């Protein structure tokens, strides 16, 4: 039981490049979330998926898109990366009214 996995662990992009961050969970959780972590700002919600087939914007969705591919997988796409998107990205999942399980994070640098 791997929990929540994220790929890649590290990535460097040039401004304007695109990439997809992958997230998968093997706990049969319904809801999945993408957060970004910036120094001094805690974690902020980018997008979430309350259940398979649904996605909704969080606090900071601009510049991102998501896909809930199936119950296990929830990907985050940057279509045209900007330096302001340099951050650590965390994926998380939850069943119902219980704790969120976080992945190990993806450290993204945009130059």
Partner 1 sequence: GNSVTQMEGPVTLSEEAFLTINCTYTATGYPSLFWYVQYPGEGLQLLLKATKADDKGSNKGFEATYRKETTSFHLEKGSVQVSDSAVYFCALTTGGTSYGKLTFGQGTILTVHP
The answer to whether 57 touches 45, Cβ cutoff 8 Å, is no
Quick one: which of 21, 23, 48, 68 contacts partner 1 (CB under 8 A)?
48
Judged by CB, which is closer to partner 1: 73, or 102? 102
Is 97 a binder of partner 1 (CB under 8 A)? yes
Quick one: which of 22, 44, 72, 86 contacts partner 1 (CB under 8 A)?
44
DSSP string, 33-58: EEEEE-TTS-EEEEEEESSTT--EE-
Q: How far is the CB of 16 from partner 1 (least distance, A)?
A: 29
Report residue 107: phi and psi, to 5°.
Answer: -95, 115
């Amino acid at each position: 039981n791997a929990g929540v996995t994220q790929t890649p662990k590290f990535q460097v992009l040039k401004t304007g490049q695109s990439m997809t961050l992958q997230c998968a969970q093997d706990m049969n959780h319904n809801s999945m979330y993408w957060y970004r972590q910036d120094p001094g700002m805690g974690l902020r919600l980018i997008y979430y998926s309350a259940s398979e087939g649904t996605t909704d914007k969080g606090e900071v969705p601009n510049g991102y898109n998501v896909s809930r591919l199936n119950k296990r997988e929830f990907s985050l796409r940057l279509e045209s990366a900007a330096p302001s998107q340099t951050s650590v990205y965390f994926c998380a999942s939850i069943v119902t009214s219980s704790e969120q399980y976080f992945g190990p994070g993806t450290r993204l640098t945009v130059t």
